[in-house]
């Protein structure tokens, strides 16, 4: 496989619209540039639209089938379906209601958590969505945290409590063959600001206990192997005085790969979030992320719509490889990890 085709496999992109055709930009990315995955949104914030990829169960199923049949390998079809306030599949468009992580943590009932996790996973499976960007394993240390505690995304402030419910969540998704993602490494629970809106410095607020859920879940035989871990756009000068986690070779290599011994796919949060775009160009941040050792990159195309992004960024990455700014060996290692992740998917989900 050519280098440019391998690079395409390292991206998950958002796109516009609930109906596609052969000429749609995202289909062209899948067919011509070997795109690795897509991500679905219910709204298109870039155009101030309260609708985007999701209208009804039948429409989403048809959309996923159409996307999948154009891909040479199983296409990752991702979504943020955590429950509570953070879900793209909502009751108003015909999908079942599910409780937030916080509500499940408060009840602390195994059966209740299993039911909501199973409902989520079964819904995704029936639609053809094979990758849920959850669970959140951040600790609810700061309840007024605008992006975690305040919108009830964390199971608990207790690492053990978080791990307990995350294991249940992961197990129900595994039963339905839905890939999962722990987030947001190295811990977003005690941040005071929202990385969607700007620079988020956790240097003084972050606690060592925030690593515990990640470490325990990586080591836990019931939940292992973990499919993927998402890096937050979180700056901690004690780890890396120059780069946030999503662009940091120290956090990716020394901490997550070496110290925590994680061997699965490492993925960025959406690189269009302002914590990144306020400080880096999009092509620059992509190259920095890959140079840091990241395996997959999310560009949501939601905060800003760039239908030609992949067409433009692949040559930039090729130049960076040629100039030794990105190790070519890492591109191949990342591709192998992504390929192993896709091997977990049921072949029936991929219709050629």
> Which residues are tagged catalytic?
196, 269
CA quadruple 306, 308, 313, 316: dihedral positive or negative?
negative
Residue 299, strand partner residues = 13
- Collect all residues with Cβ–Cβ distance below 8 Å to 68 and sequence separation of at least 6: 74, 75, 77, 128, 349, 350, 351
Beta bridge partners, 230, equal 267
Q: Which class for 294: exposed (0-12), middle (13-18), buried (19 or more C-beta within 10 A)?
A: buried
| Cα Rg of the chain, angstroms | 19
- Degrees to nearest 5, angle at CA 331 with 36 and 201: 85
Alpha carbons 105 and 307: distance in angstroms, whole number: 39
CA separation for the pair 352, 347 (Å, rounded): 10
Beta-strand (E) ranges in the chain? Answer: 11-13, 37-39, 76-79, 81-83, 86-87, 131-132, 179-180, 182-185, 228-231, 265-268, 297-299
């Amino acid at each position: 496989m050519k280098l440019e085709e391998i690079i395409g496999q390292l991206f998950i992109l958002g796109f516009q619209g609930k109906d596609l055709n052969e000429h749609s930009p995202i289909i062209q990315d899948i067919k011509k540039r070997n795109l690795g995955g897509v991500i679905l949104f219910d709204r298109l914030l870039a155009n101030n639209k309260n609708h985007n990829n999701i209208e009804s169960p039948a429409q989403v199923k048809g959309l996923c089938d159409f996307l999948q049949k154009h891909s040479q390998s199983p296409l990752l079809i991702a979504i943020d379906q955590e429950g509570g306030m953070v879900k793209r599949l909502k009751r108003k468009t015909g999908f079942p209601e599910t409780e937030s992580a916080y509500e499940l943590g408060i009840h602390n009932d195994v059966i209740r958590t299993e039911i909501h996790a199973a409902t989520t996973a079964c819904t995704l499976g029936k639609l053809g969505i094979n990758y849920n960007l959850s669970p959140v394993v951040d600790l609810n240390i700061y309840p007024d945290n605008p992006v975690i505690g305040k919108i009830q995304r964390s199971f608990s402030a207790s690492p053990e409590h978080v791990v307990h419910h995350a294991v249940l969540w992961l197990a129900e998704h595994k039963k339905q063959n839905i890939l999962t993602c722990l987030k947001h490494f190295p811990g977003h629970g005690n941040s005071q600001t929202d990385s969607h809106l700007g620079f988020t410095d956790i240097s003084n607020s972050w606690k060592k206990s925030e690593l515990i859920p990640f470490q325990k879940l990586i080591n836990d035989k019931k939940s292992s192997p973990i499919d993927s871990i998402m890096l937050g756009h979180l700056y901690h000068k004690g780890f890396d005085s120059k780069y946030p986690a999503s662009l940091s070779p120290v956090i990716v290599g020394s901490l997550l790969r070496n110290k925590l011994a994680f061997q699965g796919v490492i993925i960025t949060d959406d690189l269009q979030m302002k914590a990144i775009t306020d400080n880096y160009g999009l092509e620059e941040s992509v190259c920095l992320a890959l140079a840091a050792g990241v395996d997959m990159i999310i560009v949501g195309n939601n905060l800003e719509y760039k239908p030609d992004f992949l067409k433009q960024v692949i040559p930039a990455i090729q130049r960076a490889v040629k100039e030794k700014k990105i190790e070519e060996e890492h591109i191949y290692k990342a591709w192998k990890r992504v390929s192993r992740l896709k091997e977990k998917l049921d072949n029936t989900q991929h219709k050629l």
